[in-house]
Structure 1
Amino acid sequence: MQNEIKLVDFLRDRHSTPVAQIKEPGPSQEELQSILAFATRVPDHGKLAPWRLIVYRGDIRRKLGERFLALSLEKTPDLTDAAKDAELTRFTRAPLVVAIVSTAAPHVKIPEWEQVLSAGAVCFNMLLAANAHGYVANWRTEWVAYDGEALQLLGVKPDEKVAGFVHIGSSDFPTPDRPRPELAQIVTYAGEGAA
């Protein structure tokens, strides 16, 4: 078992591993169940659970890649070889991909915006849950999250939206940190405690 890391240290250094650097092994079914359970422990005003999860693992990922390529070629027949390969491997880059699907809808008390934010929280919590189980993860959307035909292939209903696809697996790639915003550029203090 890995050494325990204090939460404050983890959050200070948290980053996403590039999808191209994610590889086998992925989580076992038992670990995945735990990751999914942890991921859904998010703020959810009204206890609506305005989201659902779709897990893509195994051969379905390759089959989806073939369909994504076919859709792409319909729209852009002169795709480069690299672009064709990107479509074929879109869901096979990691051992598994989880779609977080927002089911936000009008509600008498809970604004849709809050429901959408809850789905986003599931995405981020899934990154943290995967990391807590010793795996790396990356939250993406890409064109397939916005294309009606691709969404149908993915099992997303017409009245739903993809909040994200979380790719989960392993990596030994030393991910460098990226520039982060300076707090002075993004924080405003109002009232007491103003700097």
Structure 2
Amino acid sequence: MPTPRPDVLDFLATRRSRPAKTLGLPVPDRADLIPMLEMAARSPDHGKLEPWRFVVLERGALVRLADAIPSHAAGLDAESVAKAQKQFADAHLAVAVIEVQRPSHKVPPIEQTYSAGAVCLALLNAALASGWGANWLSGWASHDTGFAAAALGLAPNERVAGLIHIGTETSAPPERPRPDIAAITTWLPE
């Protein structure tokens, strides 16, 4: 019979991302952040490829990213540009989880993508469980290959899986509606 972990189950049953715009100072320092990165790196990784890496974006880097947005925003409306700039300009700390597609005859690219997504969620949960507020964001800039290459130094086989913003929660978000499990679950008979 399994031994339940009520504390972990309670955390998972009640976890809630904190909107990035409500995250303030202080933010984790390197000594606080390293254990969270280590926890995230324990995510499922078929073939032990490590198809991801981390880029820690501290305040100065985030300001530089915000300033670089307009030069990659050709054809976008002013509101989209301003929203992308604000995501970086208002942040104090974010971790870019970078998906790294590795050649493998055993592990297809989609499984490497899923692994990078698992790392994003694991880092988000590690930050929340450590007492920080955290949010997983993306947006057009993080998916723009020109911006990602110029601003984050990404190689052609890399892309941003997510930006995990971490900081001190300044206001608690209200609970939001959750999926109706009965409506999205199919049971196949034995």
The aligned residue for residue 63 of structure 2 is 62
Which one of 143, 148, 151 corresponds to residue 146 of structure 1? 143
Answer whether contact 2:141 2:148 (CA < 8 A) is retained: yes
Does 1:94 find its partner at 2:95?
Answer: no
* Residue deviations 1:56-99 (CA, integer Å, cap 9, x gap): 10212111101113333x434x725xx66534332233321111
Identity between Structure 1 and Structure 2 (%): 38
* Residue deviations 1:132-158 (CA, integer Å, cap 9, x gap): 221011111100122122111122212
* Residue deviations 1:128-181 (CA, integer Å, cap 9, x gap): 111122101111110012212211112221221211111111113121111111
Any gaps of 5 or more consecutive residues in structure 1? none
Deviates more, 1:24-33 or 1:86-95: 86-95
The aligned residue for residue 49 of structure 1 is 50
The aligned residue for residue 28 of structure 1 is 29
Which amino acid in 2 is paired with 1:128? N
Answer whether contact 1:99 1:164 (CA < 8 A) is retained: yes
The aligned residue for residue 186 of structure 1 is 184
The 5 Å alignment of 1:89-168 reads: 89-152=86-149, 153-168=151-166
Which amino acid in 2 is paired with 1:103? V
Tell me the distance in 2 between the aligned counterparts of 1:70 and 1:87.
12
Deviation at 1:33, TM superposition (A): 0.8
Tell me the distance in 1 between the aligned counterparts of 2:144 and 2:109.
22
> TM-score, with normalisation over the residues of structure 2?
0.89
Tell me the distance in 1 between the aligned counterparts of 2:97 and 2:84.
20
Structure 1 residues 84 and 101 mapped into 2: Cα distance closer, same or farther (>3 Å)? closer
* Structure 1 ranges of 4+ moved more than 4 A: none
Any gaps of 5 or more consecutive residues in structure 2? 1-5
> TM-score, with normalisation over the residues of structure 1?
0.87
Instruction: Figure out how many residues of one structure are paired with residues of the other and give that number.
Output: 184
Tell me the distance in 1 between the aligned counterparts of 2:111 and 2:83.
34
Structure (1 or 2) with the greater helix fraction: 2
Answer whether contact 1:130 1:137 (CA < 8 A) is retained: yes
Which amino acid in 2 is paired with 1:21? T
Answer whether contact 1:139 1:166 (CA < 8 A) is retained: yes
Deviation at 1:9, TM superposition (A): 1.2
Which amino acid in 1 is paired with 2:139? E
SS of 2:95's partner is: strand
Aligned residues: CA RMSD: 1.8
